[in-house]
Structure 1
Amino acid sequence: MKEKTSLASKVIHAGTQPPTQGHSFNQPPVFASAFHLSGDPANSTYQYGRFNNPTWQSLEDAISELENAPSVIFPSGMAAIASVLTSILSPGDTLVLPTDGYAPTRAYAEQFLKKFGVNLILTKTLKIPDLDFTGIKLVLIESPSNPLLDVLDISLLADKIHQKGGLLAVDNTCLTPLGQQPLALGADISVCSDTKAFNGHSDILFGHVASASEKIIDGIRNWRTLSGNIPGPMETWLVHRALASLDLRLERMTSNAQALAQYLSTHPKVKWIRYPGLKNDPSYKIAKQQMNNFGYLMSFELNSLEAAENFLKGCQLIFDATSFGGMHTMAERRKRWNADDIPEATIRLSAGCEKQEDLLSDISSTLDRL
């Protein structure tokens, strides 16, 4: 598509076939473990089901258009994270991870990488830019972070890391390529759990990695092939189908999030709230500079653990669930996992696609009953 085409339009057409008389423009799912293969395997694009699949290729083409770089898909967000960490790091290398980000990423590094000689530095998101990056091979950040929505200046951080010879990977799950372009901001790797808003229907585990570096993307693809961390064709096809509505969903979700955050920011039963779209939020300035929207996630604290539990039980339109980014509004008390350094009564809320007035009414009446 022409360079001037917006991402909002690209997302609808990405990965589709040029119009041909009598043929579908959407790639149907191809179920195959084996493909006809005679002679030199290098002469065939498709050889064996663990190596490649036409359905994968269609979605990867679509994601590559949105990320403006080659991409590799995976059967979950954690598989995508694992591919980055495992394919890039070697014994003696040093990895930096945030202590206030996605806990399973830290757990993977601590349980599987450290025993093979990878050094691990853990620090809060906002303290990462202050590190001396000498000798550090890879820094993986979340921006915005989950669940407190801290935002880092990705361009500035990338420059600091690159000056010392390191790599920067950005977990872009909270925003998707439509909400933020980490590679365009200077990151070496963009990784996303497509389980969340990218697919947006809370029915599939999925993930992807994108990088403009041929060496990095070849290593990640090779790790997928040899580890067998491959997605199924049906799940791949469903994610591609859902992708066409991403801009529409994000428009409603982010609009709802802005309205809910503004309401909660003035409510007497809310002790504090974090949402990058609030002008008094610490993340607002950088978020406005580098993000295409302020996202659909927010976190806030109520007056007590009991109040938080009763809020979640009382809301009729909000699912109490540990995921986010779906059509349904979802929330949970994050401290129940004992993984985040946050107060017991902290609620992470993911605004969905319900009618804004209905969500505000539901939340308002529930808070009034606490």
Structure 2
Amino acid sequence: MSIDDASTNARIMAMLHKRASSIGKGESLTPPIVNAAKYALPGDPDHPFPYGRFDNPGWGTVESAIGALEDAETICFPSGMAAVTAALMATLKPKSKLLLPSDGYYTVRVLLNEFIRQHEIETVEIPTADMTGHALDRFDLVWIETPSNPGLDVCDIAAITKRAHAAGALVIVDNTTATPLLQRPLDLGADLTVSSDTKALAGHSDVLFGHVSGRDAEIMARIRNWRKLAGSTPGPAEAYLAYRGLMTLELRLARMCANAQALANLFYSHKAVEAVRFPGLADDPSYRIAAAQMAQPGFVIGVTFADAATAERFITDCPAIFAATSFGGIQTSAERRARWGDAVREGYVRLSAGCEPTAALVKAISDTLDAL
């Protein structure tokens, strides 16, 4: 697969020109920020904009643009977790059985344990690396996160969806770490894809945002209705910022992925590093499947140091690393994930490669490693 193939290029072109193709003379190329709780609504309420909680022109603009990349109907939300919640609430029924990665984003598991299990939802947790071959009989929903966050394990989306559908289960893929440019879950058979667009898609670390995409009209109608009834709506300014960031996604990803590959090679050969996880390394456990289903191995690297103190010193001492949680921004960032309770070693660092000049970034990190 390639990020520069004809199909991908066509989707990028459609995304970039989606708004331009629908506006008239004198209208702005950038979408307006419509701060509206009320719309004029005389007579029957049969209008796309009856009330601010139902819809907003800015939502439609960003949904159309993301939808061009997903090649699917898209619904936006005020955060990635809002998108996750909507997808779960629209597809789970009381007493449903859900297969969930035990090593995926931990907040999804907390949400299920704290709130959704009260509806007699049965959850089974297994590692992402075991998902591909796990028996799927009697499951109603299979939740996939690949590459997983933070461990960067990968599972075979096409193989899982084929078996899940044969068993009568739906499949939802959290595609946050890849974006629709690096991985195409819907094309591989998934029923829905969800994303925290707070990360790479918006990309500037200045907005919380998320989306759900799918090609089943009935499921998407339920998700849209959930947003309306639950009030899980993004702000107009947030929609604008997400749209603005989306316009440079391809350019940013190209630099981020190039930087990640260069840094992974550096970490792999450096004596200060005990282990490296990156799907672009030929001997990584995720390499084979990632090479088959991803256009690029991504921009997130797992780096293990001898202990927590060494990991923290690496993050603190490097002038090219912004110490923060989250990932996918312009600046390279990193954090020691065990501090959140993830099942990783104390010295495990999740590093998100940014858009810095590659040679300068590699030198700054190499100098820091040499000084540990």
TM-score, scaled relative to structure 1: 0.96
Report the alpha carbon displacement of residue 100 of structure 1 after superposing the two structures with TM.
0.5
Aligned residue in 1 for 2:307:
304
- Structure 2: distance between partners of 1:355 and 1:5: 24
2:39 to 3, 27, 35: 35
- Structure 2: distance between partners of 1:316 and 1:16: 40
Aligned residue in 1 for 2:260:
257
Name the stretch that deviates more: 56-65 or 318-327: 56-65
Report the alpha carbon displacement of residue 3 of structure 1 after superposing the two structures with TM.
6.8
Count of matched residue positions in the alignment of Structure 1 and Structure 2:
367
The answer (yes or no) to whether the contact 1:170–1:187 under 8 Å persists in 2 is yes
Could you report, residue by residue, the CA deviation over 1:227-283 in whole angstroms, capped at 9, with x for unpaired residues? 001000011011111111000000000000000001110111111101111111111
1:93 partner letter: S
- Structure 2: distance between partners of 1:229 and 1:335: 30
2:16 partner letter: I
Report the alpha carbon displacement of residue 290 of structure 1 after superposing the two structures with TM.
1.0
Aligned residue in 1 for 2:221:
218
The answer (yes or no) to whether the contact 2:153–2:286 under 8 Å persists in 1 is yes
SS in 2 for 1:41: coil
1:268 to 255, 268, 271: 271
Compared with structure 1, are the counterparts of its residues 80 and 364 closer, same or farther at alpha carbon in structure 2 (3 Å cutoff)?
A: same
The answer (yes or no) to whether the contact 1:71–1:210 under 8 Å persists in 2 is yes
Compared with structure 1, are the counterparts of its residues 29 and 17 closer, same or farther at alpha carbon in structure 2 (3 Å cutoff)?
A: farther
1:249 partner letter: R
Uncovered stretches (5+) of structure 1, i.e. residues with no partner:
none
- Structure 2: distance between partners of 1:65 and 1:122: 33
- Structure 2: distance between partners of 1:362 and 1:307: 17
1:356 aligns with 2:358: yes
2:310 partner letter: A
The answer (yes or no) to whether the contact 2:12–2:68 under 8 Å persists in 1 is no
Aligned residue in 1 for 2:24:
20
Report the alpha carbon displacement of residue 93 of structure 1 after superposing the two structures with TM.
0.4
Aligned residue in 2 for 1:131:
134
Could you report, residue by residue, the CA deviation over 1:309-360 in whole angstroms, capped at 9, with x for unpaired residues? 111111001011111000000001100111x111100010000001111111
Uncovered stretches (5+) of structure 2, i.e. residues with no partner:
1-5
- Structure 2: distance between partners of 1:3 and 1:161: 27
Report the alpha carbon displacement of residue 61 of structure 1 after superposing the two structures with TM.
1.1
Aligned residue in 1 for 2:165:
162
Aligned residue in 2 for 1:97:
100
2:43 partner letter: G
Report the alpha carbon displacement of residue 129 of structure 1 after superposing the two structures with TM.
2.6
Name the stretch that deviates more: 26-35 or 210-219: 26-35
- Structure 1: distance between partners of 2:136 and 2:8: 37
Aligned residue in 1 for 2:194:
191
Aligned residue in 1 for 2:57:
54
Report the alpha carbon displacement of residue 79 of structure 1 after superposing the two structures with TM.
0.3
- Structure 2: distance between partners of 1:174 and 1:4: 18
The percentage of counterpart residues that share the same residue type is: 45
Report the alpha carbon displacement of residue 179 of structure 1 after superposing the two structures with TM.
1.1
- Structure 1: distance between partners of 2:128 and 2:234: 31
Could you report, residue by residue, the CA deviation over 1:40-99 in whole angstroms, capped at 9, with x for unpaired residues? 222x11110000111111111111111111111000000000001112111110111111
1:201 partner letter: H
1:240 partner letter: Y
Report the alpha carbon displacement of residue 5 of structure 1 after superposing the two structures with TM.
4.7
The answer (yes or no) to whether the contact 1:261–1:273 under 8 Å persists in 2 is yes
1:22 partner letter: G
Aligned residue in 2 for 1:233:
236
TM-score, scaled relative to structure 2: 0.96
Report the alpha carbon displacement of residue 127 of structure 1 after superposing the two structures with TM.
1.5
- Structure 1: distance between partners of 2:21 and 2:33: 14
The answer (yes or no) to whether the contact 1:14–1:63 under 8 Å persists in 2 is no
Aligned residue in 2 for 1:293:
296
